[in-house]
Structure 1
Amino acid sequence: MNNKKRDTRWLASVALMMAVVILLASTPLGMIQLPVVKATTVHIPVILGAILLGPLAGSILGGVFGICSMVSNTMAPTLLSFAFSPFMSMTGISGAVKAVWISVGCRILIGFFAGWLWILLSKCKMNRMAALAVTGFMGSMVNTVAVMGSIYKLLALPYAQVKNVAVDAVWGLIMATVTASGIPEAVVAAVLVAIIGKIMLKFIK
């Protein structure tokens, strides 16, 4: 009976976090305007879910994030939507499969990585606030590095075409995105995960 109650509570908690992910992904709340760039916040509930509910929950939430990204890039396409929506592929079925990986697969990695990193840091008896901040920062960087790294490895040519640059210049553009957008997003994630995570962990206890 206790196991059933625990499973039901876990499922309800995952469903609640899924609703938060969908809300952020569907509204301007999913973006924070920084002085130079906009930082996404959609991955933050994914990281928090991984911390509070484990790597499996984090992976599920990451998948939901990825599906939301895929739908958004299909319904309101941009120049880079070919990398996130299989329906916007510029290279046929091969490109469609790559888009699914970038949009969904890379986002699943966020929750999986963050969940196991939190478990590792907890076992190391690291200061809780520091551990939350590190998990938030690294989870966010997994998102940026996995997505941009996959675009570079799998879709460098079409990326160069839409950016109207030589293929040799793609690496520089990828690194500029990681620096200008990925690092500020990671800092925001570190702060928010530390603050919100500390409060939520108290409620769970």
Structure 2
Amino acid sequence: MKSMKKNSQWMVQVSLMAAVVVVLANTPLGMIQLPVIKATTVHIPVILGALLLGPAAGAILGGTFGLCSVISNTLTPTLLSFAFSPFLSSTPIGSLKALWISVGCRVLMGAAAGWLWMLLQKCRFNPWIALPITGFISSMANTFLVMGSIYFLLAPEYAQAKNVALSAVKGLVMGTIAASGIPEAIAATVLVTGLGKALLAALHRNRV
């Protein structure tokens, strides 16, 4: 009985975090305007959910993030939406690649964030150190997984969409990682540290 109650509470908490992911993914709140580019914040509740509720929750929330990405890129496609929507591909293998990039990478990122937090906890890192480490590495993992997958799986299509030579794709991908991934990771470091400390304290009080 106690186990069922605990499982129900976990499901409710995951559902609430998933709702935050959906809200951020579908409103301007999911983007931070920087001088040159916009940095996404949608992965931040995924990371927070993973460290609060475990790797399984992180995977579910990452999947929610990915599905929101599929829907957004399908309904309002942009130049590179073919990499994130299986419905915009003309081949089955292309659809599978897009599904991996949009959903699979985010599921893996969410689970990895939970595993990283568990490792840091096992190593007895202070939360003020573990939280920024988890935020930064998890955010960079999201960028590297997505952009790395685009490079290895869709380099010719990426080159065609950007109207550049195939040899230029690596430089474009690395440029995106530097211009977008690093600012996103810094934002995640700050927000995961601040919000994570408050949420961990609240979770601890509820368990007492």
Shorter chain as denominator, the TM-score bin is over 0.9
Backbone CA RMSD of aligned residues: 0.7
Where 1:126 maps in the other structure, the secondary structure is coil
- Give the alignment of 1:43-54 within 5 angstroms: 43-54=43-54
Number of matched pairs: 204
Encode CA deviations 1:152-205: one digit per residue, 9 max, x unaligned: 000000100010000000000000000000001001001100000000000110
Alignment of 1:57-72 (within 5 A): 57-72=57-72
Partner residue, 2:174: 175
Q: Secondary structure at the match of 1:155?
A: helix
The whole-number CA distance in structure 1 between the counterparts of 2:12 and 2:54 is: 14
Q: Which runs of 4+ in 1 moved over 2 A?
A: none
1:21 and 1:141 map into 2 onto residues whose CA distance is: 18
Do the aligned residues in 2 keep the contact of 1:157 with 1:167 (CA within 8 Å)? yes
Percent of aligned pairs with the same amino acid: 64
Structure 1 length as normaliser, TM-score? 0.98
C-alpha deviation, 1:39, in angstroms: 0.6
Q: Matched residues in 2 for 1:29 and 1:109: separation?
A: 24
Q: Within 5 Å, which residues of 2 pair with 1:114-125?
A: 114-125=113-124
Letter in 2 for 1:94: I
Superposed displacement of residue 150, structure 1: 0.3
| TM-score, with length taken from structure 2 | 0.97
* Contact 1:109 1:142 (8 Å CA) reproduced: no
The residue aligned with 1:8 is: 8
Aligned residue for 1:56?
56
Match of 1:26 in 2: 26
Separation in 2 of the partners of 1:139 and 1:36? 23
Tell me which amino acid in the other structure corresponds to 2:48. Answer: L
* CA distance in structure 2 between the aligned counterparts of 1:3 and 1:87, rounded to whole angstroms: 41
Gaps of 5+ in 1: none
CA-to-aligned-CA distance 1:12-31 (integer Å, 9 cap, x gap): 00000000000000101000
